[in-house]
Structures are given as C-alpha cells and as structure tokens.
Amino acid sequence: MKNNNYSQLSPLLDPRLDIGQYVYLLLLVFVVLLFTACSNNPAEEEASSVGMEFFEGSFEGALQLAANEEKLVFVDVYTTWCGPCIVMQDTVFPQPKVGEFFNSRFINFKLDAENEAQNGPEIAATYSINVYPTYLILDSDGNEIARASSLMTGEQFIAMVSQMLGETESSFEQLQERYAAGERGHEFVQQYLMDAIVDFSKKEYPRTDMAKLQEYWDEQQYYSDAASAYFARKAFPELLNPTDVHLILYYKDKSPRGDKMVELVLEHFDEFVELSSMSAMSQFFLNATWYAALDAAQSRERDYGFYIDELEQEPLIRVAEYERNRDPESGLVPEAMRETIDLIYYRVTAQWDEIFMHYKELLSADPETLDAEQYNSAARSLMSSPDEEHRQFVLQNVETAFSLDSKNPLIAVTYIELLSINDHTEDIHEIVEEFKESLSDSAADKERLEIFNRIAGNILNAPAETEVQDHGHGHDHDH
C-alpha cells in the first residue's frame, strides 16, 4: 500500500465538443483575431494561454538553464500519493494566468521526493523537506530564497509567490487585527480565511521543536475554528459559490464522514463537483472515508467498514473510480483501504491469528515481488502477539526486511524494538552499528540517521549503550 499523508483538483476540459462549445470556439477565434490585429507580439499572446511549463531534464539542468536565462528556479516538491500535490498539478499549474506569472519569472521544475531515478530523496533531504507539497524558490546556484506549502487557488498561488519575491506586500496582519477586534461580516471573514491560507502556507513546519510545533498546530486550529464559525453563520445555499467551496474543502479536509459539513457536501455532491472538480472531491471523500473507518476500527466498532462500503454506491463510486483510474495502486481505493483498516481492527482487538494468516499468505508470494517494507509491516503488525509461533515469524520477517534494506531507519527501529521485547538486548548494539555503517555522508542518509535517533531514543528511552551518536553523519536539518 502506498503511503498517504493525505492531501485534489479543478475540472478537466473534455476534448469532445458539443454545439455550445463550437459556438464558444467561433467567438473565441473572432476575439483572438481582433486582438491579434492590434498586437505587435503574437508570441506573447500565445505564451499567456498556457499553464506552467516545467523543465523536463535534471535538477542540475534546471539550475543551469536558469543561469543562462537569468531567472530563478521554482521547484514543486511532491509525492505521487500526496492529495494536495495532485490537486495543484492538475488544476492550478495548468491555469493560463498561473503560467503567465511563473513562466516569465522562473524555470519551473517538478521533483518527486521519492523517485530515486530523479535523485529525489537526496535533493529533498538537502533542502530539509518536511511536508508535501513544498514549493521552493531558488537562485541559479541552488540557494534557497523562500519556501511555502499547501493547497490553494490560482489567485492565492500567485499572491503567495508574489509576496515571497517581495513584489507585493501582504495585508493579512491588518485583517487579523480586524478579526481579533470582532469584525464578522460575511464578505470580510471570507477574505480573512482566504488570506489566512496564503499566510499560513509560508510558515515552516517545525518538526523537531515540540514547543514551536504546538504553536503551529494551535494556529492551524484557530483558523479551522474561525472557518467552522463562518460556515455556521451562513445558510448552506449561500455557501454554494467557488470561494466558499474552496474554503470548505480546505478547512474541512480530513474531517471524517459523519461530520455535519462533510455530510452536507455529500448531499450536494454534484453541485460541489461543478464548483470545484471531481479530483478535489475524490480526495476530500476518500480522506473522509479513511478517517471515519480508522476512528471506528480503533474504537473497536464492528461496523467500521460501513463507510468503505459506501464507496461502492452512488455518488461515491465515482470518487473511487476516479482514484482507481488515477492510480490503481493507490492506498485509498476501497479494496486497499479495507485491507489496511481490517489489519488495524485485528490489532486493536488482538485477533493475532487473523493478522498472521494475512501476512503468511501475502509473504508466500514470489520473493521477487516483495519488498523490505512488506516484511517490516508483517513484523510490526504482530509484534505484540504473545504467541510463540507469531514471535518467531516476526523476528524472521524483520531480519529479512533489514537484510533487504539496512538503510531504512523505520526497519532498523522495528528490529531493535523487537530485540528488546524478546530480551535479545545483547544484539541491539550490533544492529545499530550495522545500520550506521550502511549510511554515507549524503543528505538523504543524514536524514535517515536523524529519524532513527529520534524514534529509537523514544522507544528505548535513550539508553546510553544504544544511543546513536553522530560519527561523521552530522545532520543539521530536518520531512
């Protein structure tokens, strides 16, 4: 199953044209001809009709091209499973107004942070990428000028980057003061919430500083509460406009099925699709389904699969099919979601034999089709089982996982945790050393070491004999 951090999209144009579209095109041709007759730069007009143009070569090639053209570099750091990344790439980047703004200022580059062929993990680690999507603005030497994140509209995207470049100034501080003073007019609060998205997107996610991280979460919750109060003050029909629909899909993202607003969106599914997109609605409801099923399974509710079943019925079957067509291997298609939630339910209800039989069947496949993470998942799912056969199965699988990928910090952590649980503490130091020795001085490996130190210290209460020190693998940056 693919990872889901979870965070899609505006309407796609259908290439098939009906009579209304033909009429529209005739009118468009007339307007274009009229404009061209008055224009001395037809190339400029053509450029303004396309979205963002992304350089197809290497990261280093993008930097070189930026130097040659005396431009900056804009980098969209994404993953294939990231919902907001998909939304931005499918609905915002293709917009002509976005293309006109970005293409004139930047060499644009897409970086898949998990794509080894693109050197994604190393580049992402070099720039301490903590969240997806992350937008980087670099000079032609690769020096970072600014960064931001988040899902937003084309207008917000342009405003955000314009502020990052110093071309325009944000007025959000004044809006914040007015909101704090009690101003609550609908038009004002709508603008306040839209600008809050832009302002918050420029804040860095402080992953390792718990005090700052709590401040970050508190601010996020403050805006979410403000949005909920705004939605409650407006009659629902008044929310059926593009701006409020965007606010709902943004601020209610990851709210579970059963949430009042989520259910209202479902009741008006087609209207929301028309005002946003099928892909945006797909991500919204797949996430809502996931969190509802997860909450139910973790609460030991037997009917945890109810919401997953609804993905096979109208209108949500369209959501599931959209995701399946987008990525057949997505962890959010109903069959993959059910498999994962089933295992969570079995674990919280201590149905160890069910988990054992699942992984025994899964791992009996051709070893060439299996990877280290699948063996590690089998080990973690059964690590609390008291059954001796299960314990042996767990140790066997974590050993296999570690032999396949000794550089994976999560696998190394699983291994030393299991050794500790099974009173094989004398072997822990050996595994720690083997993990360390597999690492290089690359940015990606420094990040792996930092992750291992942080998690292993929590699990083992940082005992001196297994504390991993920095021996030539210093890591001074932060996913």
Per-residue confidence of the chain (479 residues) as pLDDT tens digits? 444 433 333 333 343 344 444 333 333 333 333 333 333 443 333 444 689 999 999 999 999 999 999 999 999 999 999 999 999 999 999 999 999 999 999 999 999 999 999 999 999 999 999 899 999 999 999 999 999 999 999 999 999 999 999 999 999 999 999 999 999 999 999 999 999 999 999 998 888 888 999 999 999 999 999 999 999 999 999 999 999 999 999 999 999 999 999 999 999 999 999 999 998 999 999 999 999 999 999 999 999 999 999 999 999 999 999 999 999 999 999 999 999 999 999 999 999 999 999 999 999 988 889 999 999 999 999 999 999 999 999 999 999 999 999 999 999 999 999 998 888 888 999 999 999 999 999 999 999 999 999 898 766 664 433 333 333 333 333 33
* pLDDT at residue number 460: 61
Give the single-character DSSP code of 51: -
Residues ≥6 apart with Cβ < 8 Å to 241? 275
Q: Which domains does the chain have, with CATH numbers?
A: 19-164 (3.40.30.10), 252-337 (no CATH), 342-466 (1.25.40)
375-413 tens-digit pLDDT: 999 999 999 999 999 999 999 999 999 999 999 999 999
417-438 tens-digit pLDDT: 999 888 888 899 999 999 999 9
Strand order in the sheet with 72-78: 106-112, 72-78, 134-138, 144-149
CB 114 within 8 Å of CB 82: no
Q: How far is CA 11 from CA 31, 91, 98, 273, 277, in A?
A: 24, 7, 16, 8, 4
Residues ≥6 apart with Cβ < 8 Å to 313? none
Q: Are strands 72-78 and 144-149 parallel, antiparallel or unpaired?
A: unpaired
As given in the structure block, the two tokens for residue 424 are 């094989």
Instruction: Give the dihedral sign, CA 295/300/302/305.
Output: positive
CB 170 within 8 Å of CB 198: yes
Instruction: Provide the mean pLDDT of the chain.
Output: 87
Quick check: pTM over 0.85? no
* pLDDT at residue number 171: 96
The residue count of the chain comes to 479
As given in the structure block, the two tokens for residue 425 are 């503490």
Query: Which DSSP helix (H) or strand (E) runs through 7?
Result: none
* pLDDT at residue number 461: 61
Query: Which DSSP helix (H) or strand (E) runs through 438?
Result: none
Residues ≥6 apart with Cβ < 8 Å to 277? 8, 9, 10, 11, 12, 87, 90, 91
Q: How far is CA 302 from CA 298, 329, 336, 339, 341, in A?
A: 10, 27, 18, 15, 12
Comparing CA positions, the residue from 284, 281, 307, 283 lying closest to residue 295 is 307
* pLDDT at residue number 49: 64
Give the separation between CA 213 and CA 206, rounded to whole angstroms: 5
Q: Are strands 144-149 and 134-138 parallel, antiparallel or unpaired?
A: antiparallel
* pLDDT at residue number 447: 94
Give the single-character DSSP code of 364: T
